[in-house]
């Protein structure tokens, strides 16, 4: 049995079987019911791909799965169909692998989690705030911070959308490389067309997914010309497979390369800008105020004060980590921009590099000064050697060391990007908890 097929999760809760949930939506909801369901979920029913009720139901599940909001979906489902037992939609041993993956149900307020990660602690604190909303004497104190919670939830949602586009582009790039490798075998090896025909539907699927994502409000005011370019890619590669047209295939892969070479970095920049605007400190202050009010009251609320205080500390840790990664990302981006400018002229002369080095060298020293990791030591070594080569005016050595220098810079830049994306994924758990809390405000 694979990890995905395990009937329970780390917190002891059974995961949702998305196939069972899909069947329940199809069997228990009319089309009008599904529209009302989407309204309650704040999802535009008409914007969901597909025409039939079955298609719409499937897309609702995929929408919330991709945004890591399955707990919200299940919560609203149970509000609309309270007679449905939770056991009817959870994954049981022997059920097989759910599609596209199993998702843990939310822990109850009494669940003691062994996961002491920052995101788990913050999420648990929000669950406890939901309990406080049920107390008239504490309701006003919690609701007074509704605006802060709403703003954070919306900002995390924006990050979710940018991260989703980033991930889809990564998957699209993987398909591009597979098709490009087969393209190189043509025209000598006609069997390459069989492999291309296998990968072409997957590529088309990723392009379709990207088209759907860009219809969301997040991208309403964004310039998404690359969508039209991907449409051309889709058509060229479809025609090439149907007609075994190598020229059409090259036209499609060439255009796709240009899109992949430009767009993901721009999406990443938007994600970083959104992360920069995320005010986790405002959430921290709100929870700190609530914690202080509770501590000063005479209420006996078990370990609520301590748990919320732990959530405040965890949120502070996440905020510091986010700010650190954003600062480092921006610093590496500045270095990378400078390297690209130098790279364009390096074949003709090292004059541009010589001038840029006055800025690049201190920038790298600043980024590696407090680092004890291997990558920092290796990069510092290359910097020293390149600095000496520039002083000695050994052009061949300068160019060789620059390539190594550039490779190490980009490797570290990618690692920081990966860490930032991972943190964004962790923040999705907090966003889900915020969504559930905000639903309580409306009741």
Residue 219 φ/ψ, nearest 5 degrees: -105, 10
Residue 103 pLDDT greater than 50, yes or no: no
Q: How do the domains of the chain map onto residue ranges?
A: 3-104
The residues, ordered by sequence, that sit 6+ positions from 356 with a Cβ below 8 Å of its Cβ are 338, 341, 342
Q: How far is CA 206 from CA 179, 235, 272, in A?
A: 14, 14, 23
Residue 438 pLDDT greater than 90, yes or no: no
Residue 301 pLDDT greater than 70, yes or no: no
CA distance linking residue 307 with residue 304, whole number of Å: 5
Give the pLDDT band (50/70/90) at residue 258.
very high
Q: Which of 126-130, 145-149, 239-243 has the highest mean pLDDT?
A: 239-243
Nearest to 72 by CA among 315, 434, 442, 441: 434
Tell me if 382 sits within 8 A of 404, measured CB to CB.
Answer: yes
Q: Tell me the mean pLDDT in the region 189-200.
A: 94
CA distance linking residue 220 with residue 217, whole number of Å: 5
pLDDT digits (tens, 9 = 90+) for 349-374: 999 999 999 999 999 999 999 889 99
Give the pLDDT band (50/70/90) at residue 111.
very low
CA distance linking residue 265 with residue 272, whole number of Å: 10
* Residue 304: CB atoms within 10 Å: 20
CA distance linking residue 236 with residue 239, whole number of Å: 5
CA distance linking residue 192 with residue 188, whole number of Å: 9
Determine the pLDDT at residue 248. Answer: 96
Q: Output 101 or 165, whichever has higher pLDDT.
A: 165
Report the run of H or E that residue 104 belongs to, with start and end.
strand 103-104
The overall average pLDDT reported for the chain is 83
Q: Output 84 or 234, whichever has higher pLDDT.
A: 234
């Amino acid at each position: 049995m694979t990890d995905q097929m395990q009937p329970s999760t780390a917190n002891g809760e059974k995961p949702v079987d998305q196939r069972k949930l899909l069947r329940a939506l199809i069997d228990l909801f009319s089309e009008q019911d599904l529209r009302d369901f989407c309204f309650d979920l704040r999802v535009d029913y008409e914007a969901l791909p597909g025409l039939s009720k079955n298609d719409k139901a499937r897309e609702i599940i995929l929408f919330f799965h991709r945004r890591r909001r399955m707990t919200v979906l299940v919560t609203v489902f149970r509000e609309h169909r309270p007679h449905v037992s939770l056991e009817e939609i959870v994954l049981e041993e022997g059920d097989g692998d759910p599609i596209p993956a199993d998702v843990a149900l939310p822990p109850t307020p009494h669940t003691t989690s062994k996961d002491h990660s920052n995101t788990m602690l913050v999420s648990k604190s929000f669950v406890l705030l939901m309990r406080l909303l049920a107390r008239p004497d504490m309701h006003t104190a919690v609701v007074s911070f509704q605006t802060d919670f709403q703003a954070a939830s919306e900002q995390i949602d924006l990050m979710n959308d940018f991260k989703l586009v980033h991930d889809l582009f990564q998957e699209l790039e993987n398909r591009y490389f597979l098709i490009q490798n087969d393209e190189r075998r043509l025209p000598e090896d006609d069997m390459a067309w069989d492999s291309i025909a296998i990968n072409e539907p997957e590529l088309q699927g990723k392009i379709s997914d990207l088209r759907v994502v860009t219809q969301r409000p997040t991208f309403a005011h964004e310039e998404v010309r690359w969508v039209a370019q991907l449409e051309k890619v889709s058509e060229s590669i479809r025609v090439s497979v149907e007609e075994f047209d190598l020229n059409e295939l090259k036209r499609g892969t060439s255009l796709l390369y240009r899109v992949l070479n430009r767009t993901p970095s721009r999406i990443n920049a938007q994600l970083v800008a959104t992360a920069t605007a995320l005010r986790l400190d405002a959430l921290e202050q709100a929870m700190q105020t609530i914690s202080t009010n509770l501590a000063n009251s005479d209420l006996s609320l078990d370990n609520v004060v301590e748990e919320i205080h732990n959530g405040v500390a965890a949120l502070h840790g996440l905020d510091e980590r986010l700010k650190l990664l954003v600062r480092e990302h921006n610093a590496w981006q500045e270095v990378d921009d400078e390297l690209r400018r130098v790279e364009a002229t390096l074949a003709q002369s090292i004059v541009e590099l010589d001038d840029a080095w006055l800025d690049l060298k201190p920038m790298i020293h600043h980024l590696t000064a407090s680092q004890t990791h291997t990558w920092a030591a290796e990069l510092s070594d290359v910097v020293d050697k390149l600095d000496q080569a520039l002083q000695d005016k050994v052009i061949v050595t300068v160019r060789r060391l620059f390539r190594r220098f550039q490779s190490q810079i980009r490797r570290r830049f990618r690692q920081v990007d990966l860490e930032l994306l991972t943190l964004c994924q962790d923040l999705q758990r907090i966003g889900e908890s915020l969504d559930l809390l905000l639903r309580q405000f409306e009741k």
